[in-house]
Amino acid sequence: MLKMMVGTGVTLMIFVFFLAGCGQDGEVSSLEGGSGDFEYQTEQFADIRILRYRVPGFENLTPRQQELTYYLYEAGLSGRDIIWDQNYRYNLRIRKALENIYRTTVADRSGEEWDAFQTYIKRVWFSNGIHHHYSKVKIKPGFSEEYFRELAMAADQQGFGTRDGENLEEYLDFLVTLVFDPDKDGKKVVLDSGVDQIAASATNYYDPDLTQEEVEAFYREKIDPDDPRPISYGLNSKLVKENGEIREKVWKEGGMYSSAIERIVYWLQKAAGVAENEKQQAALEKLIEYYQTGNLRTFDEYNVLWVQDTDSVVDLTNGFIEVYEDPLGYRGSYESLVYFRNDEATKRIAALSENAQWFEDNAPFSDEYKKAEVTGVTGKVITVAGEAGDASPSTPIGINLPNANWIRKEHGSKSVNLGNIVNAYAEASKSGGVLEEFAASEEEIARSREFGTLADNLHTDLHEVIGHGSGQLAEGVATPKETLKGYASTLEESRADLIALYYMMDPKMVEIGVMPSLETGRAAYDDYIRNGLLVQMARIEPGDNLEQAHMRNRQLISTWVYERGLDEQVIARLEKDGKTYYQINDYEALRELFGELLAEVQRIKSEGDYESGKELVESYGVKLDPEIHQEVRDRYATLNRAPYAGFINPFLTAEIGSDGKVNAVRIEYPDDFAGQMLFYADRYSFLPLDN
């Protein structure tokens, strides 16, 4: 999505911490669609800000389109439990216990420990589980075990869902270990080299007794390296070992997660009945068939139909999409987005789509890795009406799908910029001081204020429309998931970012009318380097390495070009008043460095060069300078600004007539994060506590 690296790892999801507003620093000028009296930020806790977004234009949809949107919205939320269980096998039990305490305890609801409990449950809700949504490390409670037991014993004793044969005290012993022991399943996704990444990761995509060697051997037997249209093996299943035999438990009707998938299918069937056209209806019916059968060839057929439907106003992303939470990049996290096209704002992104072949032909990598014919690249700005699963509360701002390389090559892809999400980030970020604190000069601040918003939008558009849609594998090379393994996601995100950065300083961007001058590109470079070398470190705890693919890719790029240009001082490191800054001295030379790195990253992907990819990521994208890291954290702390942000979703409700038909669909904007989470738990808890 500027989050997606599914299957073959070619989509992405860029988080707005570095793209909102002026961009990488989160400072913003303005975007179209002023805030009026709408409050975008509702609260802040721990390292998180909770925002809201509006859905402008919903009232202009036809009644049938509104009904379609409502059905797709319900389908998306029906799978909410799935992402919780995927993230960790005990998440649903822990969530039920925490919510039972939050609702029913008669213990004293005041004081520091109660405040800490409220913060903890909100952090767990935000992360769809007990591991931090970005660092993947288990969230530390700010209250004691004793206090937890006190709250629990004063809560509804029947509301915990204790396991068979256990009384509440025994069950609490089990829960206390899961919540408080930092070494018990302490990290959801482990990407460290030299360790068994499957055995070390707490994610629930694999049985705990499986090893990385066993998983890789299992898929070596399945995958045909000569198949020109390879199946995305493992995308919709959990790998288990039963009686010594390794097999897949497929996520489908009648299989794993069936009770939630049945509800997804129910709403998708209603959506298919009010589809805008025959193409959309055919795609929705194929998606239903996929959920019913679990057949990955059917999923490919759905993706082809979905790409070919470019006329529908209302659209969706729904399924097992992202593979970031699988250390080996096989299994897709459940996610859903429902949205409709913003025709006016789409004019900018359409200009890039129309020139996709020119961008491919002029890319600074070897011709043998270029597509002779760029097929079906479409881009649009969309308005989100609802998000669920891995897309909520933390959301992407851009999406490029599908992820299968062969579909992208033969049929094309869809790229979208989540316009109202970007706008909400921007409106909520108009003050904060990040830009003033970390920019190297007043000139840089002024440039970012004037051009930063457009620079961010164009970077996102180029990343999604051109970046993920570019390049091809060398003949006979397997998918990046197979060749580059745990480094595939970071390298693909690097490749897409480098495409965007390279073209942000190309006169072609001015020629086609998407930006007024190359000052926009300079603003993009300023923001990217500032974030990659400084600001994003504020998100990382002291002593930790970078784990998340997007953070790795941003540091990799920024550090590589900084070091390569050191002799010529392309980027200068400055010290002022005891603070570190980075200033770009030569934007054209920096563009050439971006191009050099892009050529190498494309070669690595096209040739499946694992060793070179590993060396690049481990050398530049993982380790932090501890002194700079602490300095950044100290400086950021003075701003009183949480580094992460996510959203409360709108509520869509339908007025049903006596004939059972939808008479009207209404949209409301709640401002209570806890209230929405509890409502979701009441309405969309379809899975048993153990799956």
pLDDT higher than threshold 50 for residue 264:
yes
pLDDT score of 29: 27
Query: For the chain, how many residues are written?
Result: 691
pLDDT score of 595: 98
Contact 384, 337 (CB under 8 A): yes
| Proportion of the chain above pLDDT 70, given as a percent | 95
Q: Scanning the structure block, which residue is given the tokens 């096998």?
A: 89
Scanning 462-511, the segments in alpha helix (DSSP H) are 480-483, 488-504, 507-511
pLDDT score of 349: 85
Spatial CB neighbours of 442, under 8 Å, sequence gap ≥ 6:
none
pLDDT score of 398: 87
The pLDDT tens digits of the residues spanning 229-251 come to: 999 999 999 999 999 999 999 99
The pLDDT tens digits of the residues spanning 65-123 come to: 999 999 999 999 999 999 999 999 999 999 999 999 999 999 999 999 999 999 999 99
What is the Cβ-side half-sphere exposure of residue 184, based on CA atoms within 13 angstroms? 12
| Residue 198 burial by Cβ neighbours in a 10 Å radius (0-12, 13-18, 19+) | buried
Token pair of 488 as six digits: 């595939």
Model confidence at 431, in pLDDT bands (50, 70, 90)?
low
pLDDT higher than threshold 50 for residue 3:
no
Q: What is the mean pLDDT of residues 288-311?
A: 97
pTM listed for this prediction = 0.84
pLDDT score of 484: 94
Nearest to 599 by CA among 370, 404, 375: 370
What is the Cβ-side half-sphere exposure of residue 599, based on CA atoms within 13 angstroms? 12
Contact 276, 285 (CB under 8 A): no
b or e along 66-89 (b: 16 or more beta carbons within 10 Å of the residue's beta carbon)? bbbbbbbbbbbbbbbbbbbbbbbb
Neighbours of 479 (CB within 10 A): 25
| Residue 227 burial by Cβ neighbours in a 10 Å radius (0-12, 13-18, 19+) | exposed
The span from the CA of 426 to the CA of 54, in Å, is: 13
The pLDDT tens digits of the residues spanning 367-407 come to: 999 999 988 778 899 999 999 999 999 999 888 899 998 99
pLDDT score of 11: 33
Spatial CB neighbours of 637, under 8 Å, sequence gap ≥ 6:
none
pLDDT score of 226: 87
Element of type H or E holding 416: strand 413-418
Strands (E), 39-197: 41-45, 48-52
pLDDT higher than threshold 70 for residue 15:
no
Nearest to 235 by CA among 389, 7, 11: 7
pLDDT higher than threshold 90 for residue 20:
no
pLDDT higher than threshold 70 for residue 26:
no
The pLDDT tens digits of the residues spanning 549-569 come to: 899 999 999 999 999 999 999
Q: What is the mean pLDDT of residues 214-243?
A: 94
pLDDT score of 225: 84
Edge-to-edge strand ranges of the sheet holding 41-45: 41-45, 48-52, 644-648
The pLDDT tens digits of the residues spanning 408-428 come to: 889 999 988 999 998 898 888
Contact 585, 173 (CB under 8 A): no
Cα distances (angstroms) measured from residue 291 to each of 269, 318, 332, 389, 396: 11, 11, 14, 16, 24
The pLDDT tens digits of the residues spanning 337-374 come to: 999 999 988 888 889 989 999 999 999 999 999 999 98
pLDDT higher than threshold 60 for residue 546:
yes
Q: What is the mean pLDDT of residues 204-214?
A: 97
The span from the CA of 140 to the CA of 117, in Å, is: 11
Q: What is the mean pLDDT of the chain?
A: 92
